[in-house]
Each structure stands twice: as structure tokens, then as C-alpha cells.
């Protein structure tokens, strides 16, 4: 049985670090569609891949969140990226592998992966 | 159509979130002697009127505005009933909703339970303003995860901070293994 003692240790380690995380306007939001359509198409592993990658890469200015039905059910799983001062980028038919590429290329290096965007796929 | 029961749970729990719930209780109960796999999802959200309750199992009913079809509840119901199980919704406006789905555990048409831990982890870390009480029970061996207990220990350290998120993942995996011995459900 995993104990709550370990959780106490985490708290002690982390106290004092709280508040460092910047929730200000330079925050990039990564939004995953998680309604019935998204979940049925495989949005949960995509979301997990995004959260894990953002955490392991230590991207403190990126937050991963969920939303309901975006209205484009046939293109799910859909991931939208909102960067301050830039146009929204919509990636469609995502997989955990593509999600990792998006973290590497788009979120870290700033290169939009055109071939996964809705504009490119639907031509 | 979902491929795992755990994905239905994630989908149905999102209805509770949209209903403004402060506490969502999710129970997974496996009873081999009764050949039953029971899922219970209870929330303290806004509940439904008798009229809404009547139409919620209809695929052409939804409260959202992007599209006039809602398949979450019908999918879950169909999945349970196709295993000679049962499906029930109780709801009271202003006090909340309970959904109970019973599956025939060894029925050939029962889809796998799937990655319940990933569903619970996703729900907790993405909805840190809501409390979750998760109970997993296998032939009477059970464990619970109560975010209210976690919060008490953590103080102002958020449930979605990387360290706590990793702890929750391990907590779920280790305790489920202890309860069911890795039995494939």
C-alpha cells in the first residue's frame, strides 16, 4: 500500500517553490477536445502524451487543458495551441506520437508542423 | 463507440464536471462470484429534472449547443446492456446524479475495463478545483483514492504539480496491483 507519508515528503520538498510558476500572459495553452467524440477517437492517450512530455521537458510556460466538443468530430482527436500574440493552430487526427512531435517542434522550437494542421490536411 | 469501459467513465464523468459538481465519486467493483463488473458514478452537481432524465438516454438529446446529438450516455448504456447487465440513472435537481452500470464480467461482448488509472489520473490532474473519491474493489479487496485526504497533506501544493501527478499515477498502479494481483479485466 502506497502511503501518504510519501506525499508529505513531496509537500516538504515543494513548499517554498510554490508561486514560482508563471501564470501570466506569456502562458501557452494546449487544449485537447475531450467530449465523447474526442475520447472515442483516442484523445485520452494524446492528452497523456502531451502532459507527460510538457512535464519531462520542464516547459513551465505551457499548460495542457481539456475542452468539450469543438464541433469537428470527424477530425478528432483535435489539439489546439494558443500562443500569446499568435494565431491559434489546430492540429487534427492526432496520435500520441504526433503529439510528441508537436511538443518537440512546435512548443520547444517554435516550428508549426504544417502537415498535421487542419489547413494542410483539408487543403 | 468506445473501446474500453474506462473511456466511458471518463466521458460520463465529464457530464458531472459540466453539472458543476464539487465531488465526484467513482466506484469500480469486480465480483467474480456474481460474475459482475459494476461501475457507479455519483456527483453532487445540478442534477436533472424528470423530463431531462427521460430524454438523456436518447442519442438525439444533448445540452450542448455545437451539435444536437449526445452519445455519451447511450454508448455507456448499450455497452452494459449488451452484456446482459443493467443500467440506471437516478437524479435529483439541485442535489446530484448517480449512474450505475452493471456488466456481465465474463460475457463475450463485454469490452475490457481498460486503463482506469489513466482515466482517474486525467480527471484529477485536469480538474484540480473538483474533489474525487475513487474506489476500486476486486473480490472484496479494495483501495480508495480521496483527493480531499491528499489536499489535507499537500496544503497549497497543487494536485497537478509534476511530483504529485507522478505520485498519483504510482499510487493508483501499485494499489490496484495489490487489490487484484494484476488480474486481467
Summarised one tens digit per residue, pLDDT across range A12-65 is: 888 766 555 555 568 999 999 999 999 999 999 999 999 999 999 999 899 999
φ/ψ of residue A46, rounded to 5: -65, -45
Quick check: is B36 in a domain? yes
Question: How many beta-carbon contacts under 8 Å exist across A and B?
Answer: 89
Q: Which of A44, A66, A73 comes nearest B118 by C-beta?
A: A44
The CATH number for B78's domain is 3.30.565.10
* Helices and strands (H, E) in chain A, number of each type: 5, 4
Quick check: is A19 in a domain? no
Quick check: is B60 in a domain? yes
Quick check: is A17 in a domain? no
Indicate yes or no: CB of B175 within 8 angstroms of CB of A73: no
Instruction: Quickly state the pLDDT bin for A123 (edges 50, 70, 90).
Output: confident
Q: Which of A2, A11, A45 comes nearest B153 by C-beta?
A: A11
Instruction: Quickly state the pLDDT bin for B134 (edges 50, 70, 90).
Output: very high
For residue A87, what are the domain limits? 26-122
Number of domains into which chain B is organized: 1
The CATH number for A79's domain is 3.40.30.10
Contacts of A52 in chain B (CB under 8 A): none
Q: Which of B10, B64, B170 comes nearest A69 by C-beta?
A: B64
Rounded to the nearest angstrom, the minimum Cα separation between A39 and chain B is 7
Contacts of B125 in chain A (CB under 8 A): 51
The answer, for A55 touching chain B at a CB cutoff of 8 Å, is yes
Quick check: is A111 in a domain? yes
DSSP alpha helix (H) spans, chain B: 5-18, 50-55, 72-81, 116-126, 147-154, 162-180
Residue B135: its H or E element: strand B131-138
Indicate yes or no: CB of A4 within 8 angstroms of CB of B14: no
Number of domains into which chain A is organized: 1
Quick check: is B46 in a domain? yes
Quick check: is B184 in a domain? no
Quick check: is A39 in a domain? yes
Enter the ipTM. Answer: 0.87
Rounded to two decimals, the pTM is 0.91
Q: How far apart are CA B113 and CA B6, in angstroms?
A: 6
Neighbours of A20 (CB within 10 A): 7
- pLDDT 10s digits, B31-43: 999 999 999 999 9
The answer, for A10 touching chain B at a CB cutoff of 8 Å, is yes
Quick check: is B185 in a domain? no
Beta bridge partners of A91: A79, A117
For residue B156, what are the domain limits? 5-179
* Higher-scoring residue by pLDDT: B73, B52: B73
Would the pLDDT of A91 be above 70? yes
Indicate yes or no: CB of A34 within 8 angstroms of CB of B10: yes
> Is there a contact between A77 and A38 (Cβ–Cβ < 8 Å)?
yes
Amino acid at each position: 500500500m502506497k502511503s501518504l507519508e510519501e506525499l508529505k515528503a513531496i509537500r516538504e520538498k515543494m513548499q517554498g517553490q510554490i508561486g514560482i510558476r508563471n501564470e501570466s500572459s506569456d502562458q501557452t495553452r494546449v487544449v485537447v477536445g475531450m467530449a465523447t467524440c474526442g475520447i472515442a477517437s483516442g484523445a485520452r492517450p494524446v492528452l497523456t502524451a502531451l502532459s507527460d512530455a510538457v512535464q519531462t521537458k520542464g516547459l513551465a510556460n505551457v499548460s495542457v487543458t481539456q475542452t468539450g466538443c469543438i464541433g469537428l468530430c470527424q477530425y478528432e482527436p483535435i489539439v489546439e495551441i494558443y500562443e500569446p500574440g499568435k494565431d491559434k493552430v489546430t492540429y487534427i487526427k492526432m496520435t500520441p506520437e504526433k503529439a510528441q512531435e508537436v511538443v518537440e517542434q512546435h512548443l520547444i522550437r517554435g516550428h508549426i508542423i504544417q502537415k498535421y494542421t487542419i489547413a494542410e490536411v483539408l487543403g | 463507440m468506445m473501446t474500453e469501459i474506462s473511456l466511458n467513465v471518463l466521458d460520463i464523468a465529464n457530464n458531472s464536471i459540466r453539472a458543476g459538481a464539487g465531488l465526484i465519486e467513482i466506484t469500480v467493483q469486480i465480483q467474480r462470484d456474481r460474475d459482475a463488473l459494476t461501475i457507479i458514478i455519483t456527483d453532487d452537481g445540478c442534477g436533472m429534472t424528470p423530463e431531462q432524465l427521460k430524454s438523456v438516454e436518447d442519442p438525439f438529446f444533448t445540452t450542448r449547443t455545437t451539435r444536437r446529438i449526445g452519445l455519451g450516455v447511450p454508448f455507456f448504456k448499450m455497452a452494459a446492456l449488451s452484456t446482459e447487465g443493467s443500467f440506471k440513472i437516478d437524479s435529483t435537481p439541485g442535489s446530484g446524479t448517480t449512474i450505475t452500470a452493471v456488466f456481465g464480467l465474463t460475457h463475450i461482448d463485454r469490452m475490457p475495463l481498460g486503463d482506469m488509472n489513466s482515466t482517474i489520473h486525467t480527471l484529477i490532474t485536469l480538474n484540480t478545483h473538483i474533489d474525487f473519491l475513487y474506489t476500486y474493489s476486486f473480490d472484496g479487496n479494495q483501495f480508495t483514492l480521496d483527493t480531499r485526504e491528499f489536499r489535507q497533506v499537500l496544503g497549497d501544493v497543487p494536485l497537478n504539480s509534476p511530483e504529485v501527478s507522478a505520485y498519483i499515477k504510482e499510487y493508483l498502479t501499485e494499489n490496484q496491483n495489490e487489490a487484484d494481483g494484476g488480474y486481467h479485466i
